Amino acid sequence: MRRSFIGENPSVLWFLLALSLFTLGVTVLSEVTGVALISTSFVKTLGKTLCLCLIAVAMDVVWGYCGILSLGHFAFFGLGGYAIGMWLMYARTEAIVLESLAGQPLPPTPQEVSDAIGNQIFGVVGSSEFPLIWAFADNLYLQLLMVVLIPGLLALVFGWLAFRSRVTGVYLSILTQAMTLALSLYLFQNDSGLRGNNGLSGLQNIPGYEDTSQAVISIVFFWASAFALGAGYLFFAWVVSGKMGSVIKGIRDNEARVRFLGYHVESYKLFVFTITAVVSAIAGALYYPQAGIINPGEIAPIASIYLAVWVAIGGRGRLYGAVIGAAFVSLLSSWFTGGGAPPLNLGFYTIQWTDWWLVLLGLSFVAVTLFFPKGIGGLFDYLVRKPE
Amino acid sequence: MSTLLEVSGVSVSFDGFRAINNLSIQFAEAELRAIIGPNGAGKTTFMDIVTGKTKPDEGRVTWGERNVSLLGMSESQIANEGIGRKFQKPTVFEDQTVRQNLAMALKNPRGPFAVLTHKKTKRNAERIEATADQIGLLDSLMRVAGNLSHGQKQWLEIGMLLAQEPRLLLVDEPAAGMTSEEREKTTDILREAAQTRAVVVVEHDMEFVRRLDCKVTVLHEGSVLAEGSLDHVTANQRVIDVYLGRGHA
């Protein structure tokens, strides 16, 4: 069974091989081994990029395979980040508070500890009370469960309402945009319980590993991201390869036909929407400890639109295309916007890429849509001849 | 023969236009039936109602020995009850192979988890091959459906319906755009299918209906105008009036 799956999908093997080699290469060249050709901050960038590749794979499944143009998957990514960020922030603040209270003659009561932590975390929004949603923040395992549970439930409820009412096409896209916008606006409020526009910060400091250098932590997260991407890729490749893949591609191409074949289309959409939302959340939970900070701006509607652009440029309907698109565009984006690209002097005008990158990206998106609908991944079709 | 599907007193209006007007019609197990009628007679709306796409304003649609009502059911539930539908335009999944198309249609559990863990079995492969043979596409199983000719796509869609093992097959204009040779083969496929189940063909083309050589129902303005053999209905003065457009005041 397993062998035939790999046999029928050789690209999965190639992908996993390339990912392993990449992971190994980066590790060898990092500061951990002393070679230090790749800085710790760049290891983090690469690790974050792997997380973006993972959410792009999820996006490709929901859009490229099932035809649901969700423009809200970054909301799930962000929720995953917030969920893990709550534990990171709580546990670290708790350690700091306990340390500072240790010198007192009387041992602090649990209430005092809790108040002090609350003050530290929520002082910035003028509060010291722990909101209800932080109930599990002191427990890593429960909070890890929240990483998949909260975004999963949101996707389930949202998807159920939307698909049941047969909202499709551009209307569904708008609805998902509204969802992520509403969530982001809510989180911007100071009384949302998640520190408003300050977001959660200091997430790169892993509680319990205060003495471990960031070089090591960055490599561990890089590995974890690579593993998650590999596992997610394998899982989705399996999902879309069999009869499930047939049905969801059928839904993309002709929903009514699938319905009259006796498949309950709404259940399938809900399944795909929810499972990709959960994977997006896992990607987010790995991303934000590497980014160090999460704030509501991260789940602004534009983020989810970028996601669709990556997948379109990389090539819809093939998982490696999504990976290529996300890696290529996001790395290029940080090169251009980070000042890496030299300004282009036209004589009468100098193009500063920090200002013009978005224009370039927009033009590339239009060009890909018009002239290369298969995206970068489509180039592989020239290498491998597919059976008729 | 027992009644398989009974439509009685069904009416439906769209924005005041009465597409179906007190329509009553029934089909027996294992019969071949042609439904003809001018444009706007309600042929497609009739199919939409039976397959659950459109809910009627009034009337009953009952199915099978136990006379269950189809009106509260979703499209997929009705399909699983045993009603297959072929669209006017050939709608196959163009970027999948003939085998994948048939595998999707094959009668098997339809839930997401059953489908996710579905394994290819020898028995399913044999069923797929038997169906492909029936529609003359046995040699094309590995071909991508989008590369088939128009006629082959129509047959593939009929094959997909047969693979569903329905008890009632609703076929909308199967002969449209076909060469006369292809029509002949389509007639054979439909007639053979009607040996074991009810097949209802909606058709414009009188020549094709004559070839089917079966009972004909004429629809006009959403209700039954005449019923009987083709010769019988074409001799009917009202049918002649309607088809020549003199029936309207």
Instruction: Report yes or no: B110 at the A interface, CB cutoff 8 Å.
Output: yes
Are the beta carbons of A307 and A298 closer than 8 angstroms?
A: no
- Written as six digits, the tokens of A73 are 């998957």
Judged against a pLDDT cut of 90, whether residue A205 lies above it is answered with yes
Distance spanning both ends of chain A, measured CA to CA: 25
Mean pLDDT along residues A283-298: 96
Model confidence at A1, pLDDT cuts 50, 70, 90, reads very low
| pLDDT tens profile B126-150 | 999 999 998 999 999 999 999 999 8
- 3-state SS, one letter per residue, for chain B: CCEEEEEEEEEEEECCEEEEEEEEEEEECCCEEEEECCCCCCHHHHHHHHCCCCCCCEEEEEECCCCEECCCCCHHHHHHHCEEEECCCCCCCCCCEHHHHHHHHCCCCCCHHHHHCCCCCHHHHHHHHHHHHHCCCHHHCCCEHHHCCHHHHHHHHHHHHHHCCCCEEEEECCCCCCCHHHHHHHHHHHHHHCCCCEEEEECCCHHHHHHHCCEEEEEECCEEEEEECHHHHHCCHHHHHHHHCCCCC
Instruction: Report yes or no: B143 at the A interface, CB cutoff 8 Å.
Output: yes
- Closest by CA to A223, choosing from A306, A290, A308, is A290
Mean pLDDT along residues A114-131: 89
Instruction: Report yes or no: B54 at the A interface, CB cutoff 8 Å.
Output: no
Instruction: Report yes or no: B94 at the A interface, CB cutoff 8 Å.
Output: yes
- CA separation for the pair A313, A321 (Å, rounded): 8
Nearest Cα residue in chain B from A250: B93
All residues of chain A having their beta carbon less than 8 Å from the beta carbon of residue B116 are 239, 242, 244
- Closest by CA to A73, choosing from A221, A194, A172, A188, is A172
- Written as six digits, the tokens of B99 are 């085998």
| pLDDT tens profile A351-368 | 888 888 889 999 999 998
Judged against a pLDDT cut of 70, whether residue A385 lies above it is answered with no
Nearest Cα residue in chain A from B165: A261
CB pair distance less than 8 Å for B119 and A239: no
- 3-state SS, one letter per residue, for chain A: CHHHHHHHCHHHHHHHHHHHHHHHHHHHHCCCCCCCCCCHHHHHHHHHHHHHHHHHHHHHHHHHHCCCCCCCHHHHHHHHHHHHHHHHHHHHHHHHHHHHHCCCCCCCCHHHHHHHHHHHHHHHHCCCCCCHHHCCCCCHHHHHHHHHHHHHHHHHHHHHHHHHCCCCHHHHHHHHHHHHHHHHHHHHCHHHCCCHHHCEECCCCCCCCCCCCHHHHHHHHHHHHHHHHHHHHHHHHHHHHCHHHHHHHHHHHCHHHHHHCCCCHHHHHHHHHHHHHHHHHHHHHHHHHHHCEECHHHHCHHHHHHHHHHHHHHCCCCHHHHHHHHHHHHHHHHHHHCCCCCCEECCCCEECHHHHHHHHHHHHHHHHHHHCCCCHHHHHHHHCCCCC
- Nearest CA distance, A265 vs chain B (angstrom): 8
All residues of chain B having their beta carbon less than 8 Å from the beta carbon of residue A268 are 112
What residue type is assigned to position A364 of the chain? S
Sheet containing B68-69: give its strands across.
B17-28, B3-14, B58-63, B68-69
| pLDDT tens profile A329-342 | 999 988 888 878 88
Mean pLDDT along residues A254-278: 95
Specify the range with the lowest mean pLDDT, choosing from A58-67, A111-120, A167-176. A111-120
**Confidence at residue B244, expressed as pLDDT on a 0 to 100 scale:** 65
How far lies A296's CA from each of A174, B21, B86, in Å?
Answer: 19, 57, 49
Mean pLDDT along residues A263-290: 97
CB pair distance less than 8 Å for B100 and A263: no
| Chain length of chain B | 249
Paired sense of beta strands B83-86 and B168-172, if any: parallel
CB pair distance less than 8 Å for B104 and A260: no
| B142 vs A254, A268, A387: nearest CB | A387
Mean pLDDT along residues B174-192: 88
All residues of chain A having their beta carbon less than 8 Å from the beta carbon of residue B51 are 260
Judged by phi (left if over 0) then psi (alpha if -120 to 50, else beta), residue A296 lies in alpha
Judged against a pLDDT cut of 90, whether residue B18 lies above it is answered with no
- Closest by CA to A81, choosing from A331, A301, A299, is A299
| B104 vs A259, A261, A267: nearest CB | A261
Phi (first) and psi of residue B28, to 5 degrees: -95, 165
Are the beta carbons of B214 and B32 closer than 8 angstroms?
A: yes
Mean pLDDT along residues B204-225: 89
User: Chains A, B: CB contacts under 8 A, how many?
Assistant: 76
Q: What is the CA radius of gyration of chain B?
A: 18
- CA separation for the pair B183, B177 (Å, rounded): 9
All residues of chain A having their beta carbon less than 8 Å from the beta carbon of residue B110 are 262-264
Partners of residue B34 on adjacent β-strands: B201, B216
Distance spanning both ends of chain B, measured CA to CA: 40
Phi (first) and psi of residue B170, to 5 degrees: -105, 120
| B96 vs A239, A246, A263: nearest CB | A246
All residues of chain A having their beta carbon less than 8 Å from the beta carbon of residue B49 are none
Are the beta carbons of B124 and B109 closer than 8 angstroms?
A: no
**Confidence at residue B30, expressed as pLDDT on a 0 to 100 scale:** 85
All residues of chain B having their beta carbon less than 8 Å from the beta carbon of residue A1 are 119
- CA separation for the pair A343, A203 (Å, rounded): 34
| A246 vs B84, B103, B164: nearest CB | B103
Model confidence at A388, pLDDT cuts 50, 70, 90, reads very low
- Nearest CA distance, B221 vs chain A (angstrom): 26
Mean pLDDT of the residues in chain B = 89
All residues of chain B having their beta carbon less than 8 Å from the beta carbon of residue A249 are 93, 95-96
| pLDDT tens profile B25-51 | 999 888 899 999 888 888 889 999 999
Per domain, the residue ranges of chain B are 3-91+166-244
Instruction: Give the dihedral of Cα atoms A245, A251, A256, A260; nearest 10 deg.
Output: 20
All residues of chain B having their beta carbon less than 8 Å from the beta carbon of residue A247 are 104, 115
- Nearest CA distance, A159 vs chain B (angstrom): 15
CB pair distance less than 8 Å for A257 and B84: no
Instruction: Report yes or no: A262 at the B interface, CB cutoff 8 Å.
Output: yes
CB pair distance less than 8 Å for B110 and A264: yes
Rounded percentage of chain A residues whose pLDDT exceeds 90: 73
**Confidence at residue B104, expressed as pLDDT on a 0 to 100 scale:** 94
- Nearest CA distance, B81 vs chain A (angstrom): 9
Model confidence at A386, pLDDT cuts 50, 70, 90, reads low
CB pair distance less than 8 Å for A256 and B160: no
Q: How far, rounded to the nearest angstrom, does the alpha carbon of residue B97 sit from its chain's CA centroid?
A: 23
Are the beta carbons of B84 and B163 closer than 8 angstroms?
A: no
All residues of chain B having their beta carbon less than 8 Å from the beta carbon of residue A378 are none
The pTM score is 0.91
- CA separation for the pair A292, A204 (Å, rounded): 4
Nearest Cα residue in chain B from A262: B76
- Nearest CA distance, B249 vs chain A (angstrom): 38
| pLDDT tens profile B217-229 | 999 988 899 999 9
| pLDDT tens profile A212-237 | 999 999 999 999 999 999 999 999 99
Paired sense of beta strands B215-220 and B223-228, if any: antiparallel
All residues of chain B having their beta carbon less than 8 Å from the beta carbon of residue A165 are none
For the question of an ipTM over 0.85, the answer is yes
**Confidence at residue A3, expressed as pLDDT on a 0 to 100 scale:** 53
Model confidence at A373, pLDDT cuts 50, 70, 90, reads confident
**Confidence at residue A55, expressed as pLDDT on a 0 to 100 scale:** 98
**Confidence at residue B249, expressed as pLDDT on a 0 to 100 scale:** 41
What residue type is assigned to position A358 of the chain? L
All residues of chain A having their beta carbon less than 8 Å from the beta carbon of residue B76 are 259-260, 262-265
**Confidence at residue A122, expressed as pLDDT on a 0 to 100 scale:** 92
- Written as six digits, the tokens of A84 are 């893990």
- Written as six digits, the tokens of A298 are 């991260």
Query: For the structural domain made of B3-91+166-244, what CATH number should be given?
Result: 3.40.50.300
| A271 vs B85, B112, B143: nearest CB | B112
Are the beta carbons of B28 and B4 closer than 8 angstroms?
A: yes
- CA separation for the pair A202, A84 (Å, rounded): 12
Specify the range with the lowest mean pLDDT, choosing from A14-18, A280-284, B230-234. B230-234
